A and B are shown apart, each in its own frame.
Chain A
Amino acid sequence: MALAGAAALAIAACASFRSAPDPAQIEREIAASKAAELELVRTTISDPARTERFIDLLAQREQLLKRFVGQIIDHRKRMIELNADYHAERGDFEAQLADYNRKRAIAQQDLVQLITAMKQTTTADEWSEIAAFQLDRLSPRHLAYGGLKEGG
Chain B
Amino acid sequence: MIVLLLAWYFLGGGVASGMILTSPAVDDLAKRAAIVVEDETRRQAAVQALEILEKDIKAFEKAYAASGKALGKLYRNHGGGRDEALFILNDLNANWADGQRRALDARFTLRDQLTEEEWSALFGNSD
A residues near B, CB below 8 A?
12-13, 15-17, 68, 72, 75-80, 83-84, 86, 90, 93-94, 96-97, 100-101, 104-105, 107-109, 111-112, 115-116, 119, 122-124, 127-128, 131-132, 134-135, 139-142, 144-145, 148-152
Do most interface residues of chain B lie in helix, strand or loop, or is the interface mixed?
helix
What is the CA–CA distance of A60 and B119 in the complex, to the nearest angstrom?
43
Partner of B100, one of A97, A149, A150: A97
What is the CA–CA distance of A23 and B76 in the complex, to the nearest angstrom?
30
Which residues of A are found within 8 Å of B4, using beta-carbon distances?
108, 111-112, 140-141
Do A132 and B76 have beta carbons less than 8 Å apart? yes
Partner of A151, one of B13, B15, B61, B75: B61
Given contacts A83-B17, A140-B5, contact A93 B104 (CB under 8 A): yes
Do most interface residues of chain A lie in helix, strand or loop, or is the interface mixed?
helix
Do B124 and A76 have beta carbons less than 8 Å apart? no
B residues near A, CB below 8 A?
1-8, 11-15, 17-20, 22-25, 57-58, 60-65, 68, 72, 75-76, 78-79, 82, 85-86, 89, 93, 96-97, 100, 104, 107-108, 111, 116, 119-120, 123-124, 127
Tell me how far the C-beta of B83 lies from the nearest C-beta in chain A, rounded to whole angstroms.
Answer: 9
Partner of A112, one of B2, B58, B97, B120: B2
Which residues of A are found within 8 Å of B24, using beta-carbon distances?
16-17, 152
Which residues of A are found within 8 Å of B96, using beta-carbon distances?
101
What is the CA–CA distance of A8 and B72 in the complex, to the nearest angstrom?
24
What is the CA–CA distance of A24 and B91 in the complex, to the nearest angstrom?
36
Which residues of A are found within 8 Å of B119, using beta-carbon distances?
86
Which residues of A are found within 8 Å of B13, using beta-carbon distances?
75-80, 83
Partner of A116, one of B57, B82, B93: B82
Given contacts A111-B5, A124-B78, A141-B6, contact A83 B15 (CB under 8 A): yes
Do A83 and B123 have beta carbons less than 8 Å apart? yes
Tell me how far the C-beta of A123 lies from the nearest C-beta in chain B, rounded to whole angstroms.
Answer: 8
Task: Write the chain B residue with the least CB distance to A68.
Answer: B5
Given contacts A75-B13, A150-B65, contact A112 B1 (CB under 8 A): yes
